Chain A
């Protein structure tokens, strides 16, 4: 097995947003991988991860440092984390409701594994459909996410140099998301106050290793 190397890039953060949330960050990396069904090893890893969850652990997850940091951030940007769950809590609830973490495809599975292992929210984009450097900014009046989803002028988005590509802690634009034709993908990790940079790196490494399995 060849040694995996990742080129981790710090995304830009709009000054107004950085002023409000000084520790907000986006770290991303680009991988030469194509989506497809998950290999047996990844499915096995999902099964092992699923075995770790219990009701008590899921309830107390909100007191663990990393999930707690994302809950607080959700609250500060107007989201109710008990309604719109943070990614790590969403994975845990999916495990409890479905009785397991069922495999979907290698990209979603890699994100699930990395999120469950580290608690850091990740998103995957099609590198060819992203124009220039990625970063975090506020939505502008009249902007849309993709072609249809209107954005308010104060909404927090992940954007390239031209347009928003995803909502922070939310959905990915259909114009930038991974498709079966994707040949290179960009993985992004969102950092907030209370989450050390090493956790973001660990999440990206974990997802990349799963994708290269």
Chain B
């Protein structure tokens, strides 16, 4: 009985070096995995120009061996950024889907979308192309209700 009571409990509560090494290895792997995900989400945003890059601040002090707490903090920051970036991209693609649907509706019934204009950027594509509902034969078309979708031919030539 005295043997049991005298056992040093504190040494069991502190993190043994092997455990810390395993924890560090796991955290480093998680950081690598999250960095990959962050890269994938960022690249999925291309060619959208107004998507902010998902920044995760450096830990400061140049390249160094981070403490366990710093690695945990870095992992959590990365996980937050991945989640924020995914949400932003998802919101953006939802709007683009709506715009694609709008183009289809404009094509089917141009007279219901008079003067409406959707650009390639609005549907997440590159280039200066746009879909514009305009009247045929200018004022005559306006009065007669002859509306059509004009698809622009692309970007102006560089001067």
A-side residues, CB < 8 A to B, are 16-17, 19-20, 55-56, 59-60, 62-63, 68, 71-72, 74-80, 82-84, 138-139, 151-152, 154-156, 167-170
Our pick among A56, A62, A71, A156 for the contact of B63 (Cβ within 8 Å) is A156
B43 A78 Cβ-Cβ under 8 A: no
Our pick among A19, A78, A169 for the contact of B21 (Cβ within 8 Å) is A19
Chain B residues within an 8 Å CB radius of A19: 21
B35 A154 Cβ-Cβ under 8 A: no
Chain B residues within an 8 Å CB radius of A71: 35, 39
For chain B residues 7-62, which have a beta carbon within 8 Å of chain A?
21, 24, 28, 31-32, 35-36, 39-40, 42-43, 46-47, 53, 55-62
Chain A residues within an 8 Å CB radius of B39: 62-63, 68, 71
Tell me how far the C-beta of A17 lies from the nearest C-beta in chain B, rounded to whole angstroms.
Answer: 7
- For chain B, the count of residues having a C-beta within 8 Å of the partner chain is 29
B-side residues, CB < 8 A to A, are 21, 24, 28, 31-32, 35-36, 39-40, 42-43, 46-47, 53, 55-66, 70, 74, 78
B62 A63 Cβ-Cβ under 8 A: no
- Counting chain B CB atoms within 10 Å of each CB, which of A76, A77, A79, A84 scores highest? A76
Tell me how far the C-beta of B54 lies from the nearest C-beta in chain A, rounded to whole angstroms.
Answer: 8
B64 A156 Cβ-Cβ under 8 A: yes
Could you list 5 A-B pairs, sorted by A, with CB under 8 Å? A59-B42, A60-B43, A62-B39, A75-B35, A77-B64
